[in-house]
Amino acid sequence: MTPQELVVRMLPPFGGWLALAALALPGGSPLRGAAVALFLAAGPGAALVRVCVPAFAARPAEGPVERRDPDFARHSDLLERLMLTLFLSIGAVMLAATVLIATHTFSAQRVLLTLTLLTTLAAFCPPLRASPPARTTPRTPKGSAP
Amino acid sequence: MRPPVTPKERSTPEPTPARDGANTPGGTPETASQSSSPSSSESSSAAHEPVTDLSDLSPVRPGRSALAWPGLPLLAALALWVYAVRHTDVSRLDDYGLVTALHPTFWAGLVVLTAGFWCTVRDPRRPGAWAAAYVLGLLVMERATQAVLYPTPLYAWAWKHDAVIDHLLTAGGLQTADQVGDMAVYDQWPGFFAAQAALVRLLGVESSAMFMAWWPLVSSLMLLLPLLLIYRTFTEDRRLIWTAVWLFYVANWVGQDYFSPQSVAYALHVAVLAVVLRRFGRTAVRCGRPRQAVWTVVITLLITAIVISHQLTPGMLVVCLVALCLSRRYRDWVPVVTTVVIFLAWCLTAALPFLSAAMPDMIRSVGDVGANVETGYGATPTGTGAIATSWAARLLSGSVLLLAAAGVLRQRVLRHRARPLLLIAAAPLPMFAASSYGSEMIFRVLLFMLPGAAFFAAAALLPKVRTLDADAADAADAADAAAQAGAGRPAVPARHGLRRFAAWVPPAALLAGTLAFVPAYSGKDRINYFPPQEVALVRQLFDQAPEGSLVVAANRNYPLAYDSYWSVDHYWFLDDARSHVDRIVRDPAATLATDMAGVDRPARAYFLLTQGQLANSEMNGQLTREQLDRIQDSVAASPRFQLVAENGAGWLYVLKQTGGAER
């Protein structure tokens, strides 16, 4: 693992622990707000996307009929990962908060701690491997059977 | 390269590098610019237009100055906006809302921004980042202006959602109808509110009112990435992509971007569509590469977040996904089944109390299209300003839908290639027959049609997508025309002038739509804005109201209307039967005193009349200003009421109690 990969892998959980530490700052402080908002908007999603990237990349996405720009598909994939980082994070925050509130165990610190622990767990997970392509049995041409 | 999908595509030869050479990355900037710039292609005859389609915008390497000039109109527009917001006074809004209050430089800024965007996005020498910068500029001017101008958050509904978050934080869990009455519905779809409750505590702020004014900007920004991905699935042409994004934002005036569950659920809905359109197609499956199961897991997470947050959005998602299955390219039932299973699971467990109570009404409204699209009492624009801004909104929506229809008819190639988007645009229409959704279904249907409609509307404003077949046909037509001209038929000089005129129509349409957004979106700000005095007056009420008190008001259009709804009751008399409202108008103080009499000590009964209620009643065809003034005068003169507080934004009275419980 290269140092760059290590940074990418550990950045989301680091953001979570940083946000937890930022809770010590006074309420309404911009630093506290930035640390919390940044982690909630990107942390859990970034950790999940990193785990899933090999599986994501196993099959090309649907794209336009015309293929002029060689970088177009790559840029689209990048946008897709950014989008998933954001929306998986939002989804994770909503799900975690809902589960805690439905079980009457809600507190904001618990929501943040839960997400940080899940993000840390995801950072230690190996990347998902792509499922192998479907095995297709070659048809025997008519009349060629022994 | 993706193989041809349909028989038509298979019969259409791919453009060859030789004919497209000027547009490939290897082409020289000069050649690329000449061959692909819209002006050259439009001014020359059809026979000499570059072959292929709208994607003829390959990257080139212009000089730095050429790269940077789009920044000038953008900066000028933003400077005009800053000047405008610093010189706009919102303390006296009239019936046109923000439209007449805005400093004229705001409009100048919008014109400069739109003109700059149109020139930039159509110029192949400009990097795509400039188009993105313009769209961000548009979002700032459209969705951040109110947050900057108004000292308090807009919309009574946003204040209501703030109260729901406060309730969750106070209760620490979900409650039932026995505990919170009708408001229990929010506890049955708590996803958004639970997340916001956590955010309020984590930020360490007093309430979500501290940041909810900025939510329209945040929720609009959330839509940008999924919209881009959806459009990039069907075209490489960044003119089409960014013009569609622009049109989506200017046509999205329906006001569902405020601090609400539907704002997030809608963004998640568009994100699910983006993933399904990109990853659930059959192209790669036909190539023997099955879809990765991880995509099903991804959409399951997103769909679950939608289902736990909002009632209507999962239904809209189901109809969109079913519509997609109508196309061969997306005949994959996994997303539909996933959504239906999660939706049903939630409806039959957590949301069952609400649904079992509401089901009879829901079943009755199925098929009653007339009633479902009808606006209810208290939603009829009244007065010149309200009517004018309502018409601006209708014209804006109608124009975008008409443009979309024109795009579908005119862009034969796109109609074929982007058919799934066409299906998504049409899919919400049957929901008219399903429910009135509190007289809001027409707006919601429009909102869910927009991603697809904006794409085809943008296509109507841009040059035709061309294929080699079409080009050959045009060449034949041109040859025929030349032969006819050679045979002595007179040329048509008017055609050149017509073409020049036609070139101005698309930017004019884009500009008109961009300008029309302001009255459509902000034209009712007199109703939606609550000045700080009004907030202070209502806060004063809740600071002193004992548990079990009753608040009587004309309608619910005031800030903090639902504050402490778990311990304070409300009665909005304009929601009552018309005969009772007439009785209140005839004999206000006595009728209201009777209505408020059933409150036992130590609870109190308050009568609150504020600026927001007056504006809402007047502009939505309920009671007139004179009638409401008469009610206030009657209560003020009545010995049964006592004035508790008064300021420039309203009056607060309490019903006097004598002895024990007053009856």
- For A67, phi then psi, to 5°, come to -130, 80
Interface contact B25, partner A, CB < 8 A: yes
In the predicted structure, residue B659 carries a pLDDT above the cut 90: no
In the predicted structure, residue B125 carries a pLDDT above the cut 90: no
Angle at B358 (CA atoms; ends B353, B363), nearest 5 degrees: 135
Amino acid sitting at position B9: E
**Inside any domain, residue A68:** no
How far is the alpha carbon of A97 from chain B, nearest alpha carbon, in Å? 5
Interface contact B53, partner A, CB < 8 A: yes
| Domain housing A106 | 3-60+78-124
How far is the alpha carbon of A123 from chain B, nearest alpha carbon, in Å? 17
**What's the pLDDT tens digit per position in B388-412?**
888 898 999 999 999 999 999 988 8
| Contact assignment for B222 to A106 by CB distance below 8 Å | no
What are the CA-CA distances from residue B402 to residues B243, B407, B415, B467 (Å)?
16, 8, 15, 25
**Inside any domain, residue A70:** no
> Any bridge partners for residue B647, and if so which?
B650
C-beta of residue B108 within 8 angstroms of C-beta of residue B527: no
The CA distance from B518 to B515, in Å, is 6
- Structure tokens of B626? 């004179």
The CA distance from B296 to B36, in Å, is 40
Q: What is the count of structural domains for chain A?
A: 1
Nearest CB to A104: which of B172, B197, B198? B172
How far is the alpha carbon of B10 from chain A, nearest alpha carbon, in Å? 11
Of residues B489 and B326, more confidence is placed in: B326
The CA distance from B107 to B104, in Å, is 5
How far is the alpha carbon of A41 from chain B, nearest alpha carbon, in Å? 10
| Contact assignment for B55 to A64 by CB distance below 8 Å | yes
pLDDT of residue B45: 37
Break chain B down into helix, strand, coil percent, rounded to 5.
65, 5, 30
Closest CA to A75 of A83, A87, A66: A83
Q: Which of B95-104, B364-373, B483-492, B654-663 has the lowest mean pLDDT?
A: B483-492
C-beta of residue B113 within 8 angstroms of C-beta of residue B77: yes
Residues on chain B touching A107 (C-beta within 8 angstroms):
201
| Contact assignment for B172 to A136 by CB distance below 8 Å | no
> Any bridge partners for residue B654, and if so which?
B606, B642
The CA distance from B483 to B501, in Å, is 27
How far is the alpha carbon of B197 from chain A, nearest alpha carbon, in Å? 7
**Inside any domain, residue A66:** no
Residues in chain A: 146
In the predicted structure, residue A97 carries a pLDDT above the cut 90: yes
Return the biggest CA–CA distance within chain A. Answer: 83
3-state secondary structure of B354: helix
**What's the pLDDT tens digit per position in B560-606?**
999 889 889 999 988 888 889 989 998 899 999 888 888 888 889 99
Residues on chain A touching B345 (C-beta within 8 angstroms):
none
pLDDT of residue B470: 61
Residues on chain B touching A92 (C-beta within 8 angstroms):
301
| Contact assignment for A87 to B279 by CB distance below 8 Å | no
Q: Please compute the mean of the pLDDT values over residues B318-328 and round it to a whole number.
A: 92
List, as one string, the DSSP characters of chain A.
Answer: --HHHHHHHHHHHHHHHHHHHHTTSPTT-HHHHHHHHHHHHHHHHHHHHHHHHHHHTTSPPP--S----TTHHHHHHHHHHHHHHHHHHHHHHHHHHHHHHHTT---HHHHHHHHHHHHHHHHHSPPPPPPPPPP-PPPPPTT---
**What's the pLDDT tens digit per position in B1-28?**
333 333 333 333 333 333 333 333 333 3
Residues on chain B touching A104 (C-beta within 8 angstroms):
172-173
pLDDT of residue B20: 36
**Inside any domain, residue A143:** no
Of residues B650 and B359, more confidence is placed in: B650
Residues on chain B touching A69 (C-beta within 8 angstroms):
25, 55, 58-59, 236
| Contact assignment for A83 to B226 by CB distance below 8 Å | yes
DSSP B348: T
C-beta of residue B195 within 8 angstroms of C-beta of residue A93: yes
C-beta of residue B614 within 8 angstroms of C-beta of residue B625: yes
How far is the alpha carbon of B279 from chain A, nearest alpha carbon, in Å? 5
How many CB pairs lie under 8 A apart between chains A and B? Answer: 205
Amino acid sitting at position B319: V
Q: Which residues of B396-430 are buried (b: 16+ CB within 10 A; e: fewer)?
A: bbebbbebbeebbeebebbbbbbbbbbbbbbbbee
Interface contact B271, partner A, CB < 8 A: yes
Place of tokens 């499922």: A131
C-beta of residue B160 within 8 angstroms of C-beta of residue B562: yes
**Inside any domain, residue A27:** yes
Residues in chain B: 663
Q: Please compute the mean of the pLDDT values over residues B127-151 and round it to a whole number.
A: 92
DSSP B528: H
**Inside any domain, residue A110:** yes
Interface contact B261, partner A, CB < 8 A: no
pLDDT of residue B327: 86
The CA distance from B90 to A64, in Å, is 47
pLDDT of residue B494: 58
Q: Which of A117-131, B275-289, B455-469, B534-548 has the lowest mean pLDDT?
A: B275-289
C-beta of residue B458 within 8 angstroms of C-beta of residue B244: yes
**Inside any domain, residue A44:** yes
- Structure tokens of B594? 């009777």
**Inside any domain, residue A56:** yes
> Does the CA dihedral B54-B60-B66-B70 come out positive or negative?
positive
Q: Which of A44-53, A111-120, B502-511 has the lowest mean pLDDT?
A: B502-511
Q: Please compute the mean of the pLDDT values over residues B62-91 and round it to a whole number.
A: 85
The CA distance from B153 to B146, in Å, is 9
**What's the pLDDT tens digit per position in B175-217?**
888 888 888 889 999 999 999 999 999 999 999 999 999 999 9
**What's the pLDDT tens digit per position in B206-245?**
999 999 999 999 999 999 999 999 999 999 888 999 999 9
- The residues, any chain, with a CB within 8 Å of residue B30's CB and separated by 6 or more, are none
Q: Best residue in B236, B268, B297 to probe A by mutation, most A CBs within 10 Å? A: B236
